[in-house]
Structure 1
Amino acid sequence: MSQAMVLDIMRDAFFTIMIVSAPVLIVSMLIGLIISIIQATTQIQDQTLTFVPKLIAVFLSLIFFGNFMLNTLIAFFNRTMVNLTNVLR
């Protein structure tokens, strides 16, 4: 196994991690931004106020994007196994 192949697998792994985690992180950040704007306008500065909406939004985004995330991880696994079997031949 050459260095180039290892770097390609690592690059593919990092790209897959970013693609899989992006929907949940974006939803969480948007909900946090909306809640912080509401807190700033109403001057309610309770730190626990953002926890429950973010938790619900993350669970809903996992349900909604779960199929996409799982298919992306399965495709990465299949690509990695094909690369490894090509090396062993």
Structure 2
Amino acid sequence: MTPEMVMNIAYQGMRVTLLLGGPMLLAALLTGLIVSLFQAATQINEMTLTFIPKILAVFSVLVFAGPWLIGLIVDFTRQLFINIPSMVM
């Protein structure tokens, strides 16, 4: 296994990780921003107000993007298993 192969696998792994976590983190970030703007406009200073909307946003992203996310990780894992013989030699 060459250093280039190791770096390529690490790059692909980080890319898949960002693609898996990105949509959920982006949904939580946007939801938190919207709720904080609402809190600032209405002067409601409740710390626990952001949790339920964030949970619902992340859950809805998982429902809608779930098949794509599962396909992404399955394809990555399949490619890793297929390439095991070429990595050993």
Q: Same fold (TM over 0.5)?
A: yes
The count of corresponding residues between Structure 1 and Structure 2 is 89
Q: Distance in 2 between matches of 1:46 and 1:55?
A: 16
- 1:53 CA displacement: 0.7
C-alpha displacement at 1:30, in angstroms?
A: 0.7
Q: Give TM-score scaled by structure 2 length.
A: 0.93
Alignment of 1:11-22 (within 5 A): 11-22=11-22
Where do 1:58-77 residues align within 5 Å?
A: 58-77=58-77
**Per-residue CA distance 1:37-69 (angstroms, 9 max, x = gap):** 000000101110000111111111111111011
Q: Which amino acid aligns with 1:20?
A: L
**Worse-superposed segment, 40-49 or 73-82:** 73-82
Task: Tell me the residue number matched to 1:81.
Answer: 81
Q: Name segments (4+ residues, structure 1) moved above 6 Å.
A: none
Q: Report the RMSD for the aligned CA atoms in angstroms.
A: 1.1
Question: Which residue of structure 2 aligns with residue 53 of structure 1?
Answer: 53
Match of 1:4, SS state, is: helix
User: How high is the sequence identity, in percent, across the aligned residues?
Assistant: 34
